[in-house]
Amino acid sequence: TATGTETVSVDGTFDGTGGTWNGATGKLIFILTGSAEFTTGGLTFYDLEINKADSSWVRIWDTSTVSNDLTLTEGRLLTGGSGNIQVEGDLIVVAGFNDSNPGNGLITMKGSTPQQISGTGYIPALAIDSGDTVTFANDISINDDFTYISTKLILGEGSHIAPHVTIAGGSDFTCNVGDFSGIGSGSKLYCDSSDFTTEITSIIPNQFRFPAKAGDIIMKNYTGIGVNSAILPNVIFNEGAVLGSLSLVPADIELKPWTLYAGIPAKPIRKRNKKAVMEQVKKVKQYYEKSIKK
């Protein structure tokens, strides 16, 4: 039992099964070399930090709740069994975290107030199950078997990014996904692109590049992108605009509100039923509010 901001350092295995833990506003930190098994036994921690030297790992075997911040400083985070770290505060990634192989540890952002993912580096598998906005700041990359994100990302309430989505362009740009919006599996969103007629097509140092098109991608509330679609830089989805599967939105395009687009290039097909969608949003919000109260 802690009474304030004490720090408990662990250089081996932690097993909380059958125990009690009152961390107050303190921190549990995994340190030094040598890999460690982490079984929480359902305990809740205030702050948690992974700081294992020489690419040593911490493997979590069950669900751990971090009521404040999770910090990934150095080492690797692995998942065993049903392991999952649920973060109710912010996720902070330090540049020393193993960018060549950060592990496969599942981190779930599960706050009821706005959350932020910040720092510079790579993080393992990430799930968003937040009751409010999650903002990606600085130079964060999610680079696992499912999704790659290299831009800043703002993800609104009730929104979803499916597996195998790419959101690329680097930390100079932002992809903003509004409330109750979604990006279908396999879709690619690019905030920066090259001109193949005048430029090398492989990856080269930035000082030799002259991007043909660059700009943020903005998806306002109640928007959506169907599976296996491509979005080029500087595109705005106005409220309620959606894109059908296997479609292409060229650069510098603004999609009209409450309109379904599809095709290569994407063209308006028909209007959406705003009244029906907003009635559904109202019911879903009421359901979420009742669930939180329980």
Please indicate whether residue 7 or residue 271 has the higher confidence score (pLDDT): 271
The predicted pLDDT at position 195 comes to 79
Instruction: Read off the amino acid at residue 44.
Output: T
The predicted pLDDT at position 110 comes to 86
- Phi and psi for 58 in degrees, rounded to 5? -120, 125
Flag whether pLDDT at 7 surpasses 60: yes
154 pLDDT tier (thresholds 50, 70, 90): confident
243 pLDDT tier (thresholds 50, 70, 90): very high
The predicted-structure confidence for 69-80, as pLDDT tens digits, reads as follows: 999 888 888 877
The predicted pLDDT at position 140 comes to 60
Flag whether pLDDT at 189 surpasses 80: yes
Flag whether pLDDT at 292 surpasses 70: no
Flag whether pLDDT at 222 surpasses 90: yes
Measured distance CA(212)–CA(193) in Å, rounded: 6
Measured distance CA(60)–CA(37) in Å, rounded: 6
Please indicate whether residue 20 or residue 190 has the higher confidence score (pLDDT): 190
The predicted-structure confidence for 164-179, as pLDDT tens digits, reads as follows: 899 988 878 889 999 9
Q: For tokens 């078997």, name the residue.
A: 145
Contact between 180 and 159 (Cβ < 8 Å): yes
230 pLDDT tier (thresholds 50, 70, 90): very high
Compute CA 113 distance to the chain's CA centroid, rounded to the nearest angstrom: 16
Give percent of the chain with pLDDT exceeding 70. 87
Angle at 41 between CA 37 and CA 42, to 5 degrees: 125
Please indicate whether residue 9 or residue 96 has the higher confidence score (pLDDT): 9
Flag whether pLDDT at 21 surpasses 60: yes
